[in-house]
Amino acid sequence: GENVEQHPSTLSVQEGDSAVIKCTYSDSASNYFPWYKQELGKGPQLIIDIRSNVGEKKDQRIAVTLNKTAKHFSLHITETQPEDSAVYFCAAPSGGSYIPTFGRGTSLIVHP
Amino acid sequence: DAGVIQSPRHEVTEMGQEVTLRCKPISGHNSLFWYRQTMMRGLELLIYFNNNVPIDDSGMPEDRFSAKMPNASFSTLKIQPSEPRDSAVYFCASSLDWSNYGYTFGSGTRLTVV
């Protein structure tokens, strides 16, 4: 079954606003949490990841936070720009496997 | 590095025909993954290899699907015979290891079976 849930499925923001996408997972043994960005006609691209020994990681305008107790992690994009428009996927191991299951994706639309 | 290279980019074939998708992973990456992406099911893992050895093919939908990795720089995914429901985008990805590392995806092969 699907043990990685991602919300929201679509997110529409104005340029300059912040965007937050959240994923929950069920396998408490999970210790690696990547986020991917997929632009139209391309494959997913790793944009940021976090390991279970830290609670937050930043890279310029994007950040990921992890709450292992609650089993959720979030992607934060600040000062959004039109080129941030894409589908974003989270991933986390599930079902006792070390291979990550991908969330269903969030379509982010940034309006100029 | 040119990244993960997939071919062809697009494939249109008739039902019943054999289809072969190809992938060249990043040099030095030990793990290779084949994914299928559809609107209905999202990104599904079909099979993955570690050091050229198939580790888990439980995601392969039917016996019509087969995958090989004869060496560290090449893998194929074959569908024989193809069916319209196989229409999807197929991605190959490679990684340093099968866990705890991010994946580098290729640009995908868009397969249409008519």
Max Cα separation, chain B? 40
Picking from A2, A31, A35, A46 by the largest number of B CB atoms within 10 A of its own CB, the best residue to mutate is A46
What is the share, in percent, of chain B residues with pLDDT greater than 70?
A: 99
Residue A45 touches partner B, C-beta closer than 8 Å: yes
Instruction: Give DSSP secondary structure letters for A81-112.
Output: -GGG-EEEEEEEE-TT-SSEEEP--EEEEEE-
- What's the one-letter identity of residue A17? D
Reported as a single tens digit per residue, the pLDDT across B50-74 is 999 999 999 998 899 999 999 999 9
Distance of residue B27 Cα from the nearest chain A Cα, in angstroms:
18
Q: What is the pLDDT of residues A48-101, one digit of tens each?
A: 999 888 899 999 999 999 999 999 999 999 999 999 999 999 999 876 677 888
